[in-house]
Every structure is written in structure tokens, then in C-alpha cells.
Amino acid sequence: MNLKPRFLILAAAIILIASGASWFAFQRIAEGIIEQWGVRLVETQVRYDSARLLQPLIREIALSRQMAHSQLIRRWAKEPDNPAYMQEAITEMETFRRNFQDGSYFAALRASGAYYHNNAQNDYAGRQLRYHLSPTTPSDSWFYEIIRQGREFHLNVNKDEFLGMTKLWIDVLIRDGDETLGVVGTGLDLDRFIRDIVQLAQPGITTLFVDHNGAIQLHRDLRYIDYASIVKTDGEKITIDRLLSDGQDRTFIRAAMRELAGAGPEREHDTRVISRFVTYEGKRYLAGVAYLPELDWYEVTMLDLDVLMPLHSFTSVLLIFAATLVVALLLFNYILSRWVLNPVANLENAMLRVRDGDLNPLALPPAKGEIGRLSGHFSAMAESVRSHTQELEHRVAARTEELHRLASVDPLTGLLNRRGFTERINAEVKRAEREQSRFGLIWIDIDEFKQINDFLGHSAGDEALRSVGSLINASIRPYDCAARWGGDEFLILLAPCDHDTLARLGERIRNSIETGIQLADETSITVSVGACLAGRGDAMERILQRADKALYAAKAEGRNRLRIADDPEARAEPA
Ligand SMILES: Nc1nc2c(ncn2[C@@H]2O[C@H](COP(=O)(O)OP(=O)(O)OP(=O)(O)O)[C@@H](O)[C@H]2O)c(=O)[nH]1
């Protein structure tokens, strides 16, 4: 696999791993933010809900307490059968009725069991005594339980079978010292509380109120309200435990309730909130618990953070993150291509060119760092290979030329040998044919050379050959050429040439050898010379044959003489 896909796969793998880790970190951070925000929200929500609940109740509770402390009512409660006391007490209670928000009141006297009540419509004016309570009547048991518990104040959510109403009752004991004389108070429309405080239109927020036993007093789902919980045993109560499936969550709520009731508010007019995640209806909620000392109730608010602050609200962050990753990948690809892959590809191309024999100087684009240095080294190496190759080629050419020359030259005399002369004469045959010119050929053979070898020695024979060769070479023009054809035979090519030149030069050479060379025994050398003019269109063999024939004639006629072959063209002319 090429470097580029490998690098890209590596980069993609690194980015994917980094993305996974970042996504994990992002989730943790986002969840942390949501949790912190949720804790703040639950605290605010709890304070807000408790304030909204307390605001209408405080006044009603205060009025109910005033009613319980009324001297007129207390005097009547002690002597319920006293008509004067009763009349004054009813007048007092009617005054309170007009001040109560609900416009109603009740008064239950312990001594007589009489239950007095009037409503907002004043339906029971003059007949406020509605009925008598009985310890044996289950629907009246709330009264006897409140008296038994002796708690000065109590809130009770109850359905009044006789009045046909479900109300949030404010019950306050009428006391005279340690003696409990009865219970007075007012009722509030429960539906209003449920609607205004509990059934919030805000999705994801569940608010409920429980009493000190954990019995649910207010809940948006009326089925969960533990009506008349004061008269129920612990087993019968609908408590918050029933909503929480996890034992640890139940323990947390109970512990929080104990802690809050014991500690009281941290600051004046402030409500302390303890929060933790719990599982409610199978989902994870952030629960906030606060104590309302005015009511001796606890508020439990549960926030579904997935609804209030879903993770997808961080989508834009995620998109920016993803876009950053893509840009990073593209940038990495660009930088990798520019700094590494493209220079490496250029280097590879340059190497392939060198491998294929192209040694021209390579202009590699400039690169930085290690690859730049590598390119520099390669260029220097290629340049060195190129110059060495050139030098080698020059040497080979010179050597080839030298070998060719050596192959064409006779080492003893320095004249052309048979091979070299054959090339020259062939070339001359073609040139003469092309230019319609004529050339001459002289064949020289030393007379009785064998005897020189035999009597004076082989080296004297060699010396004689060298002397003849250099004398011949000195006798010819620069553009003629001479050769040692073999043994004691020499050939001269004269171009251009005519009969006179041929005769003159042949005779001159013969004469200069006879007179110019002396052997060790002070005798001279003579040569026989055969010559001919090449006819137009004559092949080399034919020309050599004619010169040889003329030489043979010179030898036959007594040696040391020149014989020129008949010129076939001269003979043809007269005809
Ligand atoms: N020293 C020496 N002798 C050579 C060389 N090449 C050939 N010879 C001798 O040259 C002689 C040539 O003799 P021939 O041409 O046959 O006869 P010749 O003695 O010259 O007699 P004619 O040609 O008839 O006058 C032979 O004895 C060869 O051995 C050489 O390079 N050096």
C-alpha cells in the first residue's frame, strides 16, 4: 500500500480514537454541566414551589391559630352548653369566616362532640351545628387522632363525607393549659393547590409534598395522595417510599428529611435543599428535598434532566467539534501531501528517471527538513553518476578509437595494415565511383628479402622493413596513404591520380629505396614495383589483381624495376 493511504488511514484512526475519547469527555463534561445546572435548578424550583404553597397558607394558618386562641371560643369550648357563650363564640367564628380565604370554618368541641361549620355561601347561618362526632364513626376518627397526638397544628388532606368535599384542612387545637378543648380551623380547596402548585405545566418537573411520616399530601396524580393519613396506620399510608423502587433512594429521602428537620433553615427566609439522583417511575431524576417548618411538611421536587436539558441541546457544540475534526483531517492531508508525500513522489519520479537512464540534471522542487536534505543528496548523487558516466563514455570512446586504430595499423612500421588499408581502398572505390574520379595503386615487394633474414638475421630484416616503410611514408602526399600489406609487401593508394603521377612516384620510391637504405653488410635494398590506375567501376579485388600482376611482371623481368599495368580506359580511348 502506498504511503499516502497508509498515512491517511493512520490519521483517520488517530482522529477516530481522539474523537471517541473526546466524545466520552464531552459527554462527561456535558453531564457534569447539566448536573450542576440541575442542582441549582432543583434548589430554585423547591424554594419557588414552597414559597407559592406557603404564601396562601401562612395567612390561613395564622388566622386559624388566632381563632383557636380566641377567649370567646375557648370559654365556649369549656362550657359548650352555655347559650350565651355559644352565641358569642359563633359571632366570633363568623367574623373569622369572612376573613378566611375559603369563607368557611369549622369548630369541633371535645366536651360535646359537636361539629360546627358554615361555608362561603353562609348556607348554615343560624344552624352552624352540623352534627355530632362519634369515636366509633370511622369518618370522625381524624378528630380523635388529632386530639390524641396533641400536635398543636396539623394539616390534613381529607374528604369530608358529610360535606361532600375534599379539602386541605388546617386543624388547630383549642387549648386551655394542658387541656385540649377541641379543634378549629378552615379548609382550602385542594384542587386549587394541586392545579397551582403541583400540576405544573413545566414538563420534566414533578413536585410533591409529604408529611413527617413521608405520607404523600399533595401530588399531581390524585391517586397517590394519602387522604386522611393521620388516621391510618404506617402500613396503610401511601408514602414516598412507594414511588421509589430503589432502597438506597428511599434511605436517602428519609435521611434528608431527618437532617432537614433537625437542622432547620440555614439562613433566615431561606430553605435548605438536599439533592441527589433517584430512580422514579423507572427513570433517573434529580430529587431535591426541603423542609417547610411552617407546615411540618417536606417538599420533594424531581427533575427529569433529559427533558429539561437534553444532551442534544449540545448538538451545536458537537457539530463544531465534528467540523473541527474534518478540517483537521483535511489540513493534515494537505500538510502531509505538501511536506512529505509530494516531495517523496517527486524523489521517486527522479529515481525512476535515473533508473531508466535519464541522467540529465534533475530539478527537484525545494523541500524542507529531512526530505529536503534527502532530495539534495539524491540530486548530488545523480549529478555525480551523470558526470562519471559521461567520463566513462568518453574513455570508452577513446579506447574504442584506439583499439580500432591499433586494429588497422601495422605495429612494425606504423603504416596501415591489411585491414586498415582494405577499409581505405573500399572507401576510395566508392568515392571514385561517386565522383567519377580515378585513383592509383602501387604494390611494392622487397627483392630477395628472404636472404636478408637468412644472412643478416630476422631483426635486420625487421629493421629493413621499418626503413622501407618510413621511406615510403615520407615519399607520399599527406592525403595519400601507405600500408604494409603483409611480409615484405607494401601498398600505396594515390587519390586523385593519373598515369604520369603514378609512374613518377613509383619510380621515385623505387629509386629512393635503392639509394637511401643500406643494410648491415653495406649492401642496398631493391624493390620491385607494380602499379595500376583503377578503372571506373573496378572492384577492389580487380584493382589489386591488376597491380599484383604488374608487380609479378616487374619481378619476372629481373626485379628492381617499375611496371605499370595497362590502363583499360586508355586502351579503350583509341578504339
Ligand atoms: N624479418 C622479417 N621477415 C619477414 C617478415 N615477414 C615475412 N618475412 C620474410 O620475408 C620473406 C619473404 O620472401 P618472399 O617474398 O617469398 O621472397 P623474396 O626472398 O623476397 O624473393 P622475391 O620476392 O622473389 O624477390 C620470407 O622469408 C619471410 O619469412 C617480418 O616481419 N620480418
Q: What is the pLDDT of residues 92-113, one digit of tens each?
A: 999 999 999 999 999 999 999 9
Sign of the CA dihedral with 138 first, then 116, 111, and 145 last: positive
Ligand 1 pocket member 446 (CB < 6 A): yes
- Starting at the edge strand found earlier in the chain, the sheet holding 114-118 runs 129-132, 114-118, 105-109, 179-189, 165-176, 153-160
Percent of the chain whose predicted confidence (pLDDT) is above 70: 94
* Residue whose CB lies within 8 A of the most ligand 1 atoms, among 443, 449, 459, 525, for a mutation test: 449
Ligand 1 pocket member 480 (CB < 6 A): no
Ligand 1 pocket member 243 (CB < 6 A): no
User: Closest Cα to atom 18, ligand 1: which residue?
Assistant: 448
Q: By C-alpha distance, which of 76, 137, 82 is closest to 107?
A: 76
**Burial, 466: exposed, middle or buried (Cβ in 10 Å; 0-12, 13-18, 19+)?**
middle
Q: Which of 21-35, 85-99, 513-527 has the lowest mean pLDDT?
A: 21-35
pLDDT value, residue 366: 75
Percent of the chain whose predicted confidence (pLDDT) is above 90: 48
For residue 486, the ligand 1 atom closest to its alpha carbon is 6
Q: Are 229 and 237 in contact (CB under 8 A)?
A: yes
Question: What would the mean pLDDT of 171-187 be, rounded to a whole number?
Answer: 94
Q: What is the Cα–Cα distance from 37 to 333, expressed in whole angstroms?
A: 40
Residue 479 has pLDDT above 70, yes or no: yes
Gap from CA of 288 to ligand 1 centroid (Å):
136
pLDDT value, residue 189: 81
Average pLDDT across the chain, whole number: 87
Gap from CA of 554 to ligand 1 centroid (Å):
17
pLDDT category at 420 given cuts 50, 70, 90 is very high
For residue 451, the ligand 1 atom closest to its alpha carbon is 19
Can you state the angle between helices 3-69 and 71-78, rounded to 10 degrees?
Answer: 70
User: Closest Cα to atom 5, ligand 1: which residue?
Assistant: 487
User: Strand 153-160 relative to strand 216-218: parallel, antiparallel, unpaired?
Assistant: unpaired
Quote the DSSP letter at residue 245.
-
Residue 88 has pLDDT above 90, yes or no: yes
- All three cell numbers of 320, joined, read 463544531
pLDDT value, residue 257: 93
For residue 458, the ligand 1 atom closest to its alpha carbon is 1
Q: By C-alpha distance, which of 195, 229, 206 is closest to 281?
A: 206
Ligand 1 pocket member 487 (CB < 6 A): yes
| Active-site residue list | 488
For residue 528, the ligand 1 atom closest to its alpha carbon is 25
pLDDT value, residue 202: 74
User: Closest Cα to atom 29, ligand 1: which residue?
Assistant: 450
Ligand 1 pocket member 461 (CB < 6 A): yes
pLDDT value, residue 574: 44
For residue 445, the ligand 1 atom closest to its alpha carbon is 23
Gap from CA of 548 to ligand 1 centroid (Å):
16
Gap from CA of 449 to ligand 1 centroid (Å):
5
Gap from CA of 415 to ligand 1 centroid (Å):
18
- Distances in Å between the Cα of 193 and the Cα atoms of 47, 63, 168, 187, 527 are 16, 19, 9, 12, 155
Question: What would the mean pLDDT of 53-80 be, rounded to a whole number?
Answer: 92
Please provide the size of the chain in residues: 575
Residue 294 has pLDDT above 60, yes or no: yes
CA-based end-to-end distance of the chain: 89
User: Closest Cα to atom 13, ligand 1: which residue?
Assistant: 450
Residue 571 has pLDDT above 60, yes or no: no
Gap from CA of 468 to ligand 1 centroid (Å):
13
Please give the ipTM for the structure prediction: 0.95
Gap from CA of 2 to ligand 1 centroid (Å):
77
Q: What is the Cα–Cα distance from 37 to 370, expressed in whole angstroms?
A: 52
Ligand 1 pocket member 450 (CB < 6 A): yes
- Distances in Å between the Cα of 570 and the Cα atoms of 532, 566, 567 are 12, 8, 5
Q: What is the pTM of this model?
A: 0.54
Residue 196 has pLDDT above 80, yes or no: no
pLDDT value, residue 200: 64
Helix, coil or strand: residue 183: strand
pLDDT tens for 348-385 read: 888 888 888 777 756 777 777 787 888 888 888 888 88
* Residue whose CB lies within 8 A of the most ligand 1 atoms, among 454, 465, 488, 513, for a mutation test: 488
pLDDT value, residue 572: 52
Amino acid identity, position 43: E
Residue 575 has pLDDT above 50, yes or no: no
pLDDT value, residue 522: 86
Residue 562 has pLDDT above 80, yes or no: yes
Ligand 1 pocket member 458 (CB < 6 A): yes
Ligand 1 pocket member 60 (CB < 6 A): no
Provide the CATH number for the domain formed by 409-572 in this structure: 3.30.70.270
pLDDT value, residue 143: 93
pLDDT value, residue 228: 83
pLDDT value, residue 573: 47
Residue 405 has pLDDT above 90, yes or no: no
Q: Are 271 and 50 in contact (CB under 8 A)?
A: yes
Ligand 1 pocket member 61 (CB < 6 A): no
pLDDT tens for 25-48 read: 877 887 788 788 888 888 888 888
Gap from CA of 479 to ligand 1 centroid (Å):
29
pLDDT value, residue 361: 57
For residue 489, the ligand 1 atom closest to its alpha carbon is 15
Gap from CA of 79 to ligand 1 centroid (Å):
184
Higher pLDDT, 281 or 498: 498
Higher pLDDT, 292 or 417: 417
- Could you state, in order of their start, the residue ranges of all structural domains in the chain? 317-403, 409-572
pLDDT value, residue 362: 61
* Residue whose CB lies within 8 A of the most ligand 1 atoms, among 450, 490, 527, 528, for a mutation test: 450
Gap from CA of 450 to ligand 1 centroid (Å):
4
pLDDT value, residue 489: 97
Question: What would the mean pLDDT of 235-240 be, rounded to a whole number?
Answer: 90
* Residue whose CB lies within 8 A of the most ligand 1 atoms, among 453, 466, 468, 484, for a mutation test: 453
- All three cell numbers of 283, joined, read 427513570
